[in-house]
Amino acid sequence: MRGTTRAKWLAGVGILALAATACGSSSDNKKSDTGSGAGNSASGGSSSGGYYTASSTEPQNLLQPANANETGGFYPLSMMFRGLYTYDPKTGDTVPAMAESMDTTDSVNWTVKLKSGWTFHNGEPVTAKSFVDAWNWGALSTNKQINATWYQPIEGYDQLHPEQGEPTAQTMSGLKVVDDNTFTIKLTSPISSFKAQMGYTPFMPLPTEFYKDPAKYGEAPIGNGPFQLDTAAGGWERKKQITVKRYDNYKGNDKAKAAGVKLVFYTTYDAAYTALRDNKLDVIDQMPTSAIASFQKDLGDRAIVQPQLSIQKIGFPLYDPEWSKPGAEKVRQGLSMAIDRAAITKAIYKGLEVPANDFLAPGIPGHADVCGDTCKFNPEKAKQLVAEGGGIPHGKLTIATNADGPHREWVTAVCNSINQVIGAGSCEPKLYPEFSVARKDISGHKMQGAYRTGWKADYPFPDNFLNDVYRTGAASNDAGYSSPVFDNLAKQAMATADKNQSLDLWKQAEAQMVKDLPSIPLWYYTTKAGYSTNVSNVQFDVFGNPVFTEVTVK
């Protein structure tokens, strides 16, 4: 879940929206090269295909593929590594990268055939073993990889990553190397969308160099992606930047257009945005709250606004007896209808966020107006449903949020909307001092009222938005939602190989969710980004990440 942690770091100082009308009228045309001692990047300017800069944050962990669940680690890894599949930036469709094919008949046993000729940045060929060894290493609990749970579907994971005690095996029994270009995967239960997960960083291959000293490798990774670490230009300079350059022997279709990229760490998005307007920074992936109202005017056609695969919701503590008693679902539906999503997104986000009508973000296959009337503002019906359901549990709705993030404003607005419809004093925000304190109560099932909860796609398939969040016992099922109907349909949908049939089952599962309403969908986030005058062809993919390979330097 990269979105929320990132939003947390953004909790900075920016409250003052500068009414900036002119856009950098005096900013001279100095090039973007802000780094020092970067020999081959000093060219800047005339030659096409120079280096450009992009805003990022310091990676939280060493740069190992299974060890990044935040933007700061994800960006460099996604540039330096390619897995079996990757995602089409525009549609989010799964497209082959290293995979020649990945076939299955039962969604349990998968046979992967690799394209030949791919090499790591040090010249070592990428083989089936590069994948299998990397996944085994990532899953082993003693290696403490933050994304280790991604290997959970693979048979034998339990032995490498036991709930208690030391691992009893070093390799997962579900992974078998057949020959240099072929390996097989056996899952514990059928997952038809397993292929769609293959573009995410935990499923990248690793060279043998890695195992000599994984920690040292984590400072200077060697991957197989379109970019390689530019050690001559400093590589990863802590708290400053990561410099990568184009890997000329890259065999994929998405070869890098620019000679290299500097991922520069700005302390706040406010500072990064100022640097962008000063033409010191070329690509910014997120706008500071203070610039939401002005950035389109400031940047003109260099501003980017487009849908992103992420959703904001209000979750309910269904483990609380008051919230799980019969009739409580009517209260939740009523509360959903009491929220004027259109007015709130317009007031707070200048209409850039899109009111939600489904638990799936638009762009996820199967997205439709599933929520229907339940997600539409309807004061009379709202009042009626809350009354029918026996009133709001505990007499008042509290919506918990961390005060150190950018969420406080909209939570207050949602509460105002509910208060106007249901009656004064029916809703109030509950502020936690900061994110980790709020998360402790939410994940520890200690809530009595509602709480804000967001989700950003890891891979573009309904599984990620539904199964991973609402299945009984799912790791991210903070609501404690448990519906046999949903579980059954989800299981079938996961197992069904036919995509349309699977999506149809998901739709039925969602229909059950709308009845139970374990959480209220609010709106979908949009990517709000921009770029400098030094670069062109800047695109963002459906996940909201810059398409680093496509950017060209003027």
Partner 1 sequence: MGRYVIRRLLMMIPVFIGTTFLIYYMVYQLGGDPISAMFGDRGADPVFVAQKRAELHLDDSLIVQYWYYLKGLLQGDFGTTLNGIPVADELKRAFPISIRLALVAFAIEVVIGVTAGLIAGLKRGKFADSVVLVVTLVVISIPVFVLGYVLQYFMGLQWGWFPATATPGDPTWEDLILPGIVLGSLSLAFVARLTRTSIVENIRADYVRTATAKGLPRRRVVTVHLLRNSLIPVVTFLGADLGSLMAGAIVTEGIFNVDGVGRLIYLSVTRHESSTVVGAVAALVMIYLVMNLIVDLLYAVLDPRIRYA
Binding mask 131-170 for partner 1 (x = CB under 8 A): ----------x--xxx-xx-----------xxx-------
60 binds partner 1 (CB under 8 A): yes
Single-letter amino acid, residue 92:
G
Contacts for 539 with CB less than 8 Å, ≥ 6 apart: 89, 90, 546, 547, 550, 551
Q: Please pick, from the candidates 192, 296, 477, 545, the single residue that binds partner 1 as defined by CB under 8 A.
A: 477
436 binds partner 1 (CB under 8 A): yes
Closest CB 138 distance from partner 1, rounded Å: 12
Alpha-carbon span 136 to 145, nearest angstrom: 11
266 binds partner 1 (CB under 8 A): yes
271 binds partner 1 (CB under 8 A): yes
Residue 124 DSSP class: P
Alpha helices in 151-263 (DSSP H): 157-160, 209-212, 214-219
Number of residues that bind partner 1 (CB under 8 A): 73
Closest CB 224 distance from partner 1, rounded Å: 25
Subset of 222-251 contacting partner 1 (CB under 8 A): 237-241
For partner 1, which stretch binds (CB under 8 A), given 249-257, 259-267, 481-489, 524-532?
259-267
Alpha-carbon span 314 to 430, nearest angstrom: 13
Judged by CB, which is closer to partner 1: 24, or 49?
Answer: 24
For partner 1, which stretch binds (CB under 8 A), given 28-36, 41-49, 173-181, 520-528?
28-36
Q: Please pick, from the candidates 15, 105, 168, 326, the single residue that binds partner 1 as defined by CB under 8 A.
A: 15
Q: Are 258 and 50 in contact (CB under 8 A)?
A: yes
What backbone phi and psi angles, to 5 degrees, belong to 411? Answer: -60, -40
Instruction: Look at residues 374, 383, 397, 409 and name the one whose alpha carbon lies nearest to residue 514.
Output: 374
Structure tokens, 194: 């397993």
Closest CB 286 distance from partner 1, rounded Å: 15
Q: Are 107 and 190 in contact (CB under 8 A)?
A: yes
127 binds partner 1 (CB under 8 A): no
Structure tokens, 434: 């900061």
Alpha-carbon span 107 to 403, nearest angstrom: 44
Q: What angle do CA 195, 124, 196 make, to 5 degrees?
A: 10
Judged by CB, which is closer to partner 1: 437, or 511?
Answer: 437
Beta bridge partners of 95: 86
197 binds partner 1 (CB under 8 A): no
Closest CB 94 distance from partner 1, rounded Å: 21
Q: Please pick, from the candidates 187, 256, 264, 421, the single residue that binds partner 1 as defined by CB under 8 A.
A: 264
Judged by CB, which is closer to partner 1: 294, or 333?
Answer: 294
Judged by CB, which is closer to partner 1: 240, or 346?
Answer: 240
Q: Please pick, from the candidates 217, 295, 455, 461, the single residue that binds partner 1 as defined by CB under 8 A.
A: 455
482 binds partner 1 (CB under 8 A): no
Residue 241 CB neighbour total at 10 angstroms = 23
Q: Are 111 and 195 in contact (CB under 8 A)?
A: no
Single-letter amino acid, residue 221:
P
